[in-house]
Amino acid sequence: MARRLLTAFKFHSKTLNDFHHFGSRCAYQNLSICSKRNKASTAATAQPINEQEDVKDLETTPDPAFARIDTSFDDAQEAFKSKTNSELIRAYLVLQSCAVKPLVDYNKQLLAFGRKFLGKTLFEKFMKGTFYGQFVAGKDIDEIKPIAERNKSYGVKSILDYSVEMDLSREQAKDVEMDAVASVGDKGYAANDEADLANRFQGHRDFGDRRDNVMSARTYFYKDEAMCDENLQHFINGIDAVSGATNATGFAAVKLTALGRPQFLLQLSEVLARVRRYYETLASGYGTGKLQMADFERHLKSFKVGKEERQKWFTILDITGDGEIDLLDWHNLLEINLGLAKLLQIPNLKTGKLEPLVDALTDKEEEQMMNMLRRMDTIATYGKQKDVRVMIDAEQTYFQPAINRLCMEMMRKYNKDKAIIFNTYQCYLKDAHNMITLDLALSKRENFHFGAKLVRGAYLEQERDRAATLGYEDPINPSYEATTAMYEKVLTEVMQSIQERPKGDIAVMVASHNEDTVRFTLQKMQEYNIRSTDRLICFGQLLGMCDQVSFMLGQAGYSVYKYVPYGPVEEVLPYLSRRATENNTMLAKAKKERRLLRQELLRRFASLKFFYRPTPPAVSPLDAMQGKTSA
Ligand SMILES: Cc1cc2nc3c(=O)[nH]c(=O)nc-3n(C[C@H](O)[C@H](O)[C@H](O)COP(=O)(O)OP(=O)(O)OC[C@H]3O[C@@H](n4cnc5c(N)ncnc54)[C@H](O)[C@@H]3O)c2cc1C
């Protein structure tokens, strides 16, 4: 298994040719408006005095977008100027019905009844005039283009999100999931004291329906390899559409569970968690948080690892060559190096024996794993070729170590000259700040661009229940306030890194519907002198939700994206069902949106604008921006 995993990594991370990294970064810096942090180097170049003065003027001018935006997000006329009256009425009615609890509680039954009672054609018409029309952009790429184009002319770009889900009952979902996570390979390691890890990274029938209580995210179940190839094709089509419809200003969203059998993600996650725990246990014994060569050698010696072998381990791990191993070095344990195969055997501190970390894979499982890596690679290569950025969604914590790790491997490979691959960090996790700090450090040390989407996290209740039932520590922050504090800490860390590193090295999306979080970000951008025109920080919301935030940001000149779901009516019903539930739980937010919608409708009717037609600005806020770049 160890050899197979490593071979897979080798396959996955073949080095790319040189992308003229340095040259392109210099060109980028010349194009962009220089911020204060680049002042010294700008001033040092031999430019005519008046040009330097121009640069200073730009630097000291307040960010026009910040001056323009009304951060109360209370200006209904401005917020909805891109919408027709019928769109406002639809939004109002849909959000209003999401507030009616029985309608939401029984939405699945009602949808099924509606489908039966109205018949396919009428039902589709009804859905397009209501829920589907509000939250989904169309059945395919051609249908979504008009919405994507109109939104873009108001400064709101698109992240295409193919939202078709298998429509399974709970029991069916559990059956499918248990098949997909079972490994028929031999258990390679002895039962040891790490039962919590084993529990955490194994499929459990009670939690087999991964759709339970999920906010905002769609769920893929594994049926077979052919279905994963179909999903791959949808992602590729999405990249094509982004590149065609948005002239490469967009993203395509990808979920790794759509691309293969999730059992591999579980196994790799378990390996990573064990490896990390091993390091932490060892390092904590030495007080400094770092391992000295002599200590590590002594430790390995007690496991009868030969001298030559011991030194090889240390040389591979001590990447900085400073005679110490820190967590960042350790993070590279699964580095693409066949010589490391032995490291996938970790000494068991209790039994005193070397143990393989994971189950052995059968030939079929190995093939499935390779297929998944191949599909990921195809998407990333295609995204790079088309200059479309690929946003990898975060999922449940039992998949997340693997998803995070694979994402970093892709960044290492594809983000040499700009951020093409974006990872997602869930700030409801206690470990969120540690994780992003480590990944930022890795990208800095290995000189690749870092792309991140920051979210609070979609699987709160599921995660808490699973941890409590299976007996491992709850990975989620203890309260909503703690999650918000974590979000702000993570965002501040990223902004600090943006300031410290060469401009353009880091790009981040603040994906949240929370107005306070958006205000916090705008304020911090001012503080860190990150201008809207830098295009280093962008915002993300879902189509049909919190338009007052997205459009106010876009129209002011900030970089903002909508996740734009698409798919045929009948196949996105599970997604629509969740939209209804989420809007019902976000009572305060939905209430404000309804108030603004009502206010704007009344204003238009009072001024006799019964047939209001939006007139997009002659020059979109996007086109008005200079130096369009990564965010
Ligand atoms: C563009 C976009 C992309 C997204 N992509 C992903 C993704 O890839 N992966 C993913 O997991 N989610 C994703 N989400 C969903 C996101 O994680 C949130 O579930 C959703 O956006 C609600 O959070 P908020 O900040 O918008 O709103 P808020 O209402 O301010 O926050 C609600 C969130 O706070 C957290 N929370 C609530 N109560 C508690 C509590 N008692 N203790 C601790 N935390 C609590 C939960 O995360 C909850 O979802 C995405 C959302 C958007 C808008």
Tell me the average pLDDT across 76-99. Answer: 93
Residue 544 buriedness (CB in 10 A; 0-12 / 13-18 / 19+) = buried
SS3 620: coil
Closest C-alpha among 552, 500, 571 to residue 530: 500
563 lines ligand 1 (CB under 6 A): yes
Report the distance separating Cα 400 and Cα 255, nearest Å: 11
Q: Which atom of ligand 1 is nearest to the CA of 455?
A: 17
Output the CA torsion sign for 28, 30, 31, 36: positive
511 lines ligand 1 (CB under 6 A): yes
460 lines ligand 1 (CB under 6 A): yes
Given a cut of 80, is residue 187 above it in pLDDT? Answer: no
397 lines ligand 1 (CB under 6 A): no
Q: For residue 407, give both structure tokens.
A: 């994402």
Q: Which residue has the higher pLDDT, 107 or 361?
A: 107
| Ligand 1 midpoint to CA 495 (Å) | 20
> Could you count the other beta carbons within 10 Å of the beta carbon of residue 618?
8
* Average pLDDT score, the chain: 78
Given a cut of 90, is residue 102 above it in pLDDT? Answer: no
Q: Please name the residue whose Cα sits nearest to atom 36 of ligand 1.
A: 480
Q: Which helix (H) or strand (E) holds 517?
A: helix 515-527
Q: CB–CB of 578/165 below 8 Å? A: no
β-pair partners for 252: 160, 390
| Ligand 1 midpoint to CA 362 (Å) | 37
Beta strands (DSSP E) in 530-627 are: 537-542, 559-566
268 lines ligand 1 (CB under 6 A): no
Helices 2-12 and 363-386 meet at what angle, rounded to 10?
20
599 lines ligand 1 (CB under 6 A): no
β-pair partners for 510: 454, 539
586 lines ligand 1 (CB under 6 A): yes
Q: pLDDT tens for residues 329-366?
A: 666 555 533 334 444 555 565 666 666 555 556 777 77
Mapping DSSP onto H, E and C, the string for 156-183 reads EEEEEEECCCCCCCHHHHHHHHHHHHCC
394 lines ligand 1 (CB under 6 A): yes
Q: pLDDT tens for residues 368-423?
A: 878 888 899 999 999 999 989 999 999 999 999 889 988 988 898 899 999 999 99
Mutate to test the pocket of ligand 1, among 211, 455, 585 (most ligand atoms within 8 A of CB): 455
Question: Read out DSSP for 1-35?
Answer: -HHHHHHHHHHHTPPPPP--HHHHHHHHHHHSPP-
> Could you count the other beta carbons within 10 Å of the beta carbon of residue 86?
12
Q: Which residue has the tokens 């997604």?
A: 575
pLDDT of residue 592: 92
- Amino acid 298 reads R
Backbone phi, psi, residue 423, to 5°: -95, 160
| Ligand 1 midpoint to CA 67 (Å) | 28
| Ligand 1 midpoint to CA 534 (Å) | 26
186: left (phi over 0), alpha (psi -120 to 50) or beta: beta
241 lines ligand 1 (CB under 6 A): no
Residue 17 buriedness (CB in 10 A; 0-12 / 13-18 / 19+) = exposed
Fold of 77-162+225-266+362-624: TIM Barrel (3.20.20)
Q: pLDDT tens for residues 486-510?
A: 999 999 999 999 999 999 999 999 9
Q: CB–CB of 94/130 below 8 Å? A: yes
Question: Using 50, 70 and 90 to split pLDDT, how confident is the model at 82?
Answer: very high
- Show me where the domains of the chain are located: 77-162+225-266+362-624
Which residues in 455-488 are b (16+ Cβ under 10 Å) and which e? bbbbbbebbeebbeebebeebbbeeeeebbebbb
407 lines ligand 1 (CB under 6 A): no
- Report the percentage of the chain scoring pLDDT > 70: 71
pLDDT of residue 477: 98
Q: Which atom of ligand 1 is nearest to the CA of 392?
A: 8
Report the distance separating Cα 505 and Cα 154, nearest Å: 27
Q: pLDDT tens for residues 264-299?
A: 888 878 877 877 777 777 766 665 566 777 777 777
Report the distance separating Cα 590 and Cα 376, nearest Å: 37
Closest C-alpha among 394, 459, 439 to residue 210: 459
Q: CB–CB of 539/560 below 8 Å? A: yes
pLDDT of residue 323: 72
455 lines ligand 1 (CB under 6 A): yes
pLDDT of residue 17: 31
- Complex-level ipTM: 0.99
Query: Pairing mode, if any, of strands 421-426 and 389-392?
Result: parallel
pLDDT of residue 275: 72
Q: Please name the residue whose Cα sits nearest to atom 5 of ligand 1.
A: 393
Q: Which residue has the higher pLDDT, 18 or 95?
A: 95
pLDDT of residue 14: 38
| Ligand 1 midpoint to CA 584 (Å) | 15
515 lines ligand 1 (CB under 6 A): no
pLDDT of residue 217: 60
pLDDT of residue 189: 41
370 lines ligand 1 (CB under 6 A): no
Report the distance separating Cα 422 and Cα 405, nearest Å: 12
Q: How far is CA 257 from the centre of its chain?
A: 13
Given a cut of 70, is residue 313 above it in pLDDT? Answer: no
| Ligand 1 midpoint to CA 458 (Å) | 5
Q: Which atom of ligand 1 is nearest to the CA of 563?
A: 1
| Angle, vertex CA 101, rays to CA 99 and CA 103, nearest 5 | 95
Q: Please name the residue whose Cα sits nearest to atom 17 of ligand 1.
A: 457
348 lines ligand 1 (CB under 6 A): no
| Ligand 1 midpoint to CA 195 (Å) | 30
Question: Read out DSSP for 357-402?
Answer: SSPPPPHHHHHHHHHHHHHHHHHHHHHHHHT-EEEEPP--TTTHHH
Given a cut of 70, is residue 584 above it in pLDDT? Answer: no
480 lines ligand 1 (CB under 6 A): yes
- Amino acid 31 reads L
Q: pLDDT tens for residues 160-172?
A: 887 776 665 667 6
